Structure 1
């Protein structure tokens, strides 16, 4: 038995939650994954995984072994990266999770440039509408997200920030009037999305400092793109990032209000696991994003 291979297989099975998923990532058949797992259990004299027809769960021994093995394997990967970095290029696969709106409007167009600059690196780029993604649990190297990340257990590096606009269609304002102060939003129909954490309040920066106002709506969504479409359909007032609304504002399909109160911009962060040494491929990708997105407002 190759202990290192068996440990790697077990770590992938535990992280990805299944033999097939681990096999696909490692380029092995499910039979080979199962064999390595059994050999490791035989070597240890303990069951690491309880298998059923529907799901796979770690035993108590398996959970403890996984936590220690993960640290050890990460250290080995970092050692390999360090050694390669002494005589070779940054290389390897970077697995990235990104919010849909950032992915479609900005990051997707940047990845080809990153790959041209780093010819030995490849990227697996997954888009999601979920605000929270288990970076470690789901095997990602980096997650790119809107909003404050001060409570994250991950390393959070600020990439830039996106200007927000409180806006609606001209027809909505003709029917309901334009709010002259953020407090008047409570009397309007608003379109709420949770791409920022506080879905029921909107933050502003006033002359006397920051403040927030409550907003109401009969609709809320986990997709900022959906909130944009409903705002564009004339349902109500949206608080939306410039990435989505710049064109509609330019062409007059949407009109911005309350700009003198400076709707608080949305910071963009790269999140990645705490490590003593950050792999060169991850460091290169995050540094690239900082370079490309670090303008004051986009």
Structure 2
């Protein structure tokens, strides 16, 4: 499918950001998830390699294929994953893409950008008012709203300022020539709690393609690291907790090697943000599973005990 991202003025279609994963909210720009971008200068978390397993330790397997040694004789269990495997995974990950944040737009480029962004704001606002999309062709809007008219309307920036769009084009990023329009988009952080690390989120300048892979990467973490849920509520020594996190980190790096655009910083950040989100959900919501199941059983039992007449059954 041809790329149809924000800034492609040929077709006038706007690329919509992917949906967010975990405990993050969906931005109203398109109903798709926007995963949090990472800080540009974030250094990968250093994870010490586990020591070798002693001969007097047995190994037990937990769900998800993760092998954790069982504590024997009061000694602390260690992980069997080697530092060599870990480094092999890291070396397979791509480098971090370079983003030019020094070159500025000239006056002509800035005027073209303002016109383009104004039409995007207008189109998405009208979509929110249930105007059919086939009536909002970019070329038709461009014809109906020449630059002079857009300038009188202040390029429809009012739609961003009053929160009608749920997103905005960051004014500082609109000065940078090396960015695509998608990289200039910033979701509104309603009340300051809508997104995690919002102040740092938009400094990464990830492309749309990278964030699509990031969403899929987080989905794989949820599937293949499900075994870690069993350890969240258990009492652990700090060494045992560190061993579990190390094992999870190594497995997360292995998962990241299946993606072409997930670099090491993104893989580390994705894993630790997923882990914090998972731990929060397990701690606060896991107990509700039993409650919901018991409620369903009671409701089902009450319904099954109702003496339905043949006439009532025919009406249902």
Q: TM-score, normalised by structure 1?
A: 0.22
- Give the structure with the larger helix fraction: 2
Structure showing greater Rg: 2
Q: TM-score, normalised by structure 2?
A: 0.21
- Give the structure with the larger strand fraction: 1
